Structure 1
């Protein structure tokens, strides 16, 4: 390999950084999921204890709502930043963007006093927020990116 290609091929040192930064699922979502799960369990117990045909419709509806909530709510994955040795990717709900190589990253902008999040700026001008990444970690990532290019 030619000496000029070594710096271009060098990967970013991600030591000290997590591989995934994501917003946590809110407490309200967790409570709703637990409530729906409780309804499913309670309706199942109720069905076992009673054999009344009129309540069967209510039980089936409650179980359907609980089952739908138990299946749908976990699919609402929080937004995330995924750091990989080869590059950076972003997840929004169930969709993860393809990994963008570190060579395509122009800079990491660390959040200032009035900024909500740090951000990554790509060479083509696109900009994405680094959600849930603390300013200290964004600073380390920016330094690692600069070090990989020197």
Structure 2
């Protein structure tokens, strides 16, 4: 991955405009999925590593669901208002409000179709299943930390 970043870092079409993004790194999803599977079911993980796993997995689920459910249908209307290819590159490429990840919140979430609701439900169910292991381990870590803390609070004399 570092080699690809060094090789393609200065490539003129790195951004992929509003569609592809850094497509040259797409194949890295396969080893990342294997690493995530190992992390989700590693029983001796620390609370911090489980927390990082939950955050990364949550962001990954959001990216996948957002792309499939909301897409970027409205973003080109803002970036290419005249349809002639003229666009505001700094606004479209460097402003978070026009990112496909945030634009549904800026423009307002529209009514979803039945297919979008089904996909959203399926994605959330799979995400909950994958997050169950790390979240239960985090709850166990909090439980083992909370009992001695509660005992110290009860032992404290006001």
**Which protein is richer in helix relative to its size?**
2
TM-score normalised by length of structure 2: 0.27
**Which protein is richer in strand relative to its size?**
1
TM-score normalised by length of structure 1: 0.28
Higher alpha-carbon Rg: 1
